[in-house]
Amino acid sequence: MEDNIKDNVTEETKEEVVSRNFIEQIIDEDLKEGKHKEICTRFPPEPNGYLHIGHAKSILLNYGLAQEYGGKFNMRFDDTNPTKEKEEFVNSILEDIKWLGADWEDRLYFASDYFPQMYEAAITLIKKGKAYVCDLTADEIREYRGTLTEPGKNSPYRERSVEENLKLFEEMKDGKYADGEKVLRAKIDMASPNMNMRDPVIYRVAHIAHHRTGDQWCIYPMYDFAHPIEDAIEGVTHSICTLEFEDHRPLYDWVVNEVGYDPKPRQIEFAKLYLTNIVTGKRYIKKLVEEGIVDGWDDPRLVSIAGLRRRGFTPSSIQKFVDLCGVSKSNSAVDYAMLEYCIREDLKMDAPRVMAILDPIKLIIDNYPEGQIEELEIDNNVENPELGKRMVPFGRELYIEREDFMEVPPKKYRRLYPGNEVRLMNAYFVTCTDVEKDADGNIIAVHCTYDPESRGGNSPDGRKVRGTIHWVEANSAISATVRLYENIVDEEKGVYNPEDGSLNLNPNSLTTCTDCKLEPSLKTAKAYDSFQFVRNGFFCVDSKDSSPENPVFNRIVSLKSSYKLPTQQ
């Protein structure tokens, strides 16, 4: 009987159906029909800014699909607009993708690698009568395009001969025309219900140096023309992009078909990742950077990947977040608290728990021997014994949090006040006996006595104390700067001001605590090392401003949140 039960469980496990998202279902069908022998995906950012959390979803989705199907993942920069592109952005994007764990192996490409092929593709279209040089200005092209309810009208230059178009296009390439004087347009259908198919511009004149090709070209392809060509040349099988490109798919397919590529890449759209009350738009982030409101694209208050990394988020926490968000065809917004939940889950078992005092006040134990220092053995993480233990110094003078002492406490206050006994975490029971004040009446030190028999935080006579506070031994303490972060926008007002579109900034998005006191075990902490500061949250060493002489820690996230993970159906 028992063996039969085991056999049934095994068979049920074997037959378990794994849920597939709609992209996986499309790929499964394409493979089943023999359209492809191997899957190839790509991530194609424009190098005009730093990547943000939304890009992380695309990176991990494309790379994950390539891994799942034993295929290839290409890294490619769509660098077709030199007016906004910088080598700085190229380098930052590569660093971000490596950090997330996506491996393009030896397949790093640039759209600019294919400029000669794109030029030849344009010549092919001209020779087929599918493209023409147009002299209309940008405003005139917009006027001729029509509206969503009215068809456009043909350009007066639409019927130029193939020979004339070839000559004019070559002259555009040779630099004979000023920016905006002429463009090359695809000849499709000015009455199409899809505005993207109304003779879109596919090449424009731009006399500007490119960050890779220099002054070799003064004409540059438009994104909608370049992208399908890049995919086709690289053998991309599934070109996975966000939902706003759904209306561009007919143009994508038109370019691939008319230029004559085979096999043909297939464009699939999925919903973008939106976070509530968060700034992700490059234009707004660029403004924050340029106006000095943040200290760069990697400011920990931003959800740029570089900012999240500097804040102390881990690749595994972002992968978990992306997995929880899932893949769908419907746009929706995700609560930022879910991202915080993921990093808490990632760190709670692995981050050492240490003592740090952010707003210190001196605690003096009057009956403790002067000059004596003892080493207390403390668990690095009580929930994870594998992290081991460490030795922490304890002495007559300590630092405690200023909020852990009140001279006149409110009702139910359980921490230190005159006459009250509390537990010093992992150390001794102490009872407050007196306070020291400066000339202005400010408390500068708290005096107490300790019970030598309560070492380790337990009393041999069984008496209970209701409060436990953490501490740092004064003479061995490290002085550090600690940064506490809130959302950079005012959540109550919303992200954007409806009147002028400006950001509703939160003036308290950064609080800098100077001369904090940390236990000496943190002396060897390196950039990105993460810790749980007892009662204060999870923190990491800042990668930009911290040094051994002047350590700086960023709060990654507080310890608790009201956020509840949605129940999985």
| Residue pair 41/74 in contact by the 8 Å Cβ criterion | yes
Cα three-residue angle 40-42-48, rounded to 5 degrees: 170
- Res 464: pLDDT: 86
Beta strands in 495-541 (DSSP E): 510-518, 530-533, 537-541
The domain covering 21-273 belongs, at the CATH homologous superfamily level, to HUPs (3.40.50.620)
Q: How far apart are CA 352 and CA 335, in angstroms?
A: 28
H helix or E strand, kind and range, residue 110: strand 108-110
Q: What per-residue confidence (pLDDT) applies to 265?
A: 97
Average pLDDT over residues 83-94: 95
Where along the chain do its domains lie? 21-273, 276-347+480-518+525-562, 353-477
Burial of residue 170 (number of CB atoms within 10 Å: 0-12, 13-18, 19+): middle
pLDDT at 113 over 80: yes
- Mean pLDDT for 20-38 is 95
**Beta-sheet strands, E only, within 148-235:** 183-186, 201-205, 219-221
| The predicted structure's pLDDT at residue 7 | 42
- Confidence at residue 568, expressed as pLDDT on a 0 to 100 scale: 44
Residues linked to residue 554 through DSSP beta bridges, in sequence order: 483, 540
Per-residue pLDDT at 491: 86
What are 543-563's pLDDT values in tens digits?
999 999 999 999 999 998 666
What homologous superfamily is domain 276-347+480-518+525-562 in, according to CATH? Glutamyl-trna Synthetase; Domain 2 (1.10.1160.10)
d(CA 24, CA 321): 19
Across the range 5-24, mean pLDDT stands at: 56
Task: Give 501's pLDDT tier (boundaries 50, 70, 90).
Answer: confident
Q: Rounded to whole angstroms, how far apart are CA atoms 148 and 199?
A: 15
As a whole number, the mean pLDDT across the chain is: 93
**Domain 353-477: CATH superfamily, name plus number:** Ribosomal Protein L25; Chain P (2.40.240.10)
Please write the tens of the pLDDT for every residue from 228-242.
Answer: 999 999 999 999 999
Phi, psi of 289 (to 5 degrees): -70, -50
Q: Strands (DSSP E) along 428-477, which ranges?
A: 429-437, 443-450, 468-469, 472-473
| HSE (side-chain half, CA atoms, 13 Å) at 474 | 17
How many Å apart are CA 65 and CA 230, to the nearest integer?
A: 19
The pLDDT confidence band at residue 462, using thresholds 50, 70 and 90, is: confident
| DSSP tally for the chain: helices H, then strands E | 13, 27
Q: Any residues with CB less than 8 A from the CB of 469 and at least 6 apart, and which?
A: 400, 401, 404, 415, 416, 422, 423, 424, 425
In angstroms, rounded to a whole number, what is the distance separating the alpha carbons of residues 94 and 456?
A: 49
Q: Which segments of 176-246 does DSSP mark as H helices, in order? A: 223-234
For residue 467, the model assigns a pLDDT of: 93
> Can you give the pLDDT at residue 4?
42
Spell out the residues 6+ positions from residue 438 whose beta carbon is closer than 8 angstroms to its own.
Answer: 444
Mean pLDDT of 23-42: 96
Which residues does 437 contact at the CB level (< 8 Å), separation at least 6? 443, 444
Share of the chain above pLDDT 90, in %: 87
For residues 327-356, average pLDDT: 94
Average pLDDT (63-69) is 98
Confidence of residue 370 (pLDDT cuts 50, 70, 90): very high
Q: Is the pLDDT of residue 40 over 70?
A: yes
Is 139's pLDDT higher than 90? yes
Q: Are 133 and 125 in contact (CB under 8 A)?
A: no
Strands 537-541 and 397-401: unpaired
Q: Is the dihedral of CA 394, 546, 536, 448 positive or negative?
A: positive
Which has the closest alpha carbon to 231: 334, 107, 316?
Answer: 107
